[in-house]
Chain A
Amino acid sequence: MTELALTGFLGLSAALVGIGIFGILTRRNFILLLISVEIAMNAAILNFVYFAAFPSGTHGLSGQAITVVLIGFAATEVAVGLAIVLALNRLKGTINVARATELKL
């Protein structure tokens, strides 16, 4: 039987969200932005797996089921993000998000 504490896992998630926010705020390359969002989203997905592994009621298994759905959502997000990368590269010749300013007032 595996015995572990929940707090360590949640600390790992908090650190990963911090790293993801740092990347979103500092990077200007669209692909690096996508990677930062993926890191933060993986921290959120990890939380569902923890609370499935440490259930406090009868809903433990739903955490794992929701995780399957969330991994699919994240994959869709990357596919749409890369389509935006390709369209931005064709329009601007660069994927620097600081150069995409058409919608700014």
Chain B
Amino acid sequence: MSLEELAFLALALVAIATAAAALLVRELVHTILWIAIFFVDLSAIYFLLDAPFLGVLQLGVYAGAVTILLLFGIMTTRKRIFSRESATGIGPVPVALALVTFVFLVSALGELPPSTSTIATYDPTALSENLFGPNGPWLLLLGLIMLAGVAGAIYLVREGRE
């Protein structure tokens, strides 16, 4: 087993463990800590796949902004941020549905050739040329949707709404 495969195996196990821990712990602040580790771990996977720009973007947007936003949401909706969440029963139906989804998706992997292949590496310059060239309309769409999202968020939280 090569060093890259070992690194990916460790990163994948950490990703699954932290995602599960984030949803299973009782204190919401601990959830935020686990989800921050999850996002940092995913950015490490991006770096492993030779996508440094996406790794930095994941660190900045997810591990930075989204985590702080979620923490802010907890701080503003609770009197004491270290208060525990009331226990929710983990019934058999949600677990079964999650397992069925997982097994269904994994069974589709049998169609793929299991052989290893070399990872394609790209220059960030080429990525920016692609992003502002052939995929430019997607970037414009992102700008419009973000504008609509910000306007909607301001409308939702403004004071004195009847």
Hey, which bits of chain A sit against chain B, CB under 8 A? 1-23, 25-29, 31-32, 34-36, 38-39, 42, 46, 49-50, 52-55, 60-62, 64-69, 71-80, 82-87, 89, 95
Contact = CB atoms under 8 A, between A and B. Distances in A.
Contact of A22 (B23, B61, B105, B114): B23
Interface bin, chain B: 35 or more
Contact of B118 (A3, A17, A95): A3
B38 A29 contact: no
Given A25-B98, A68-B139, A82-B73, 7 more contacts: A19-B23, A26-B89, A26-B91, A28-B88, A35-B70, A54-B119, A64-B53
B89 to A, nearest CB: 8
A61 B12 contact: no
B102 A65 contact: no
B57 A68 contact: yes
Contact of B42 (A5, A15, A42, A85): A42
Among B9, B70, B74, find the residue whose CB has the most chain A CB atoms closer than 10 A: B70
Pick the 10 closest A-B CB pairs, nearest first: A14-B105, A25-B94, A18-B102, A83-B153, A22-B98, A76-B149, A83-B156, A65-B135, A23-B23, A18-B98
Among B2, B89, B135, B141, find the residue whose CB has the most chain A CB atoms closer than 10 A: B135
Contact of B109 (A1, A7, A23, A68): A7
Given A16-B15, A17-B105, A82-B73, A54 B23 contact: no
Nearest to B149: A76
Nearest to A88: B77
Nearest to B131: A65
A22 B94 contact: yes
7 contacts: A6-B117, A11-B106, A17-B105, A28-B88, A38-B66, A82-B70, A86-B157
Interface in B139-162: 139, 141-142, 145-146, 149-150, 152-154, 156-157
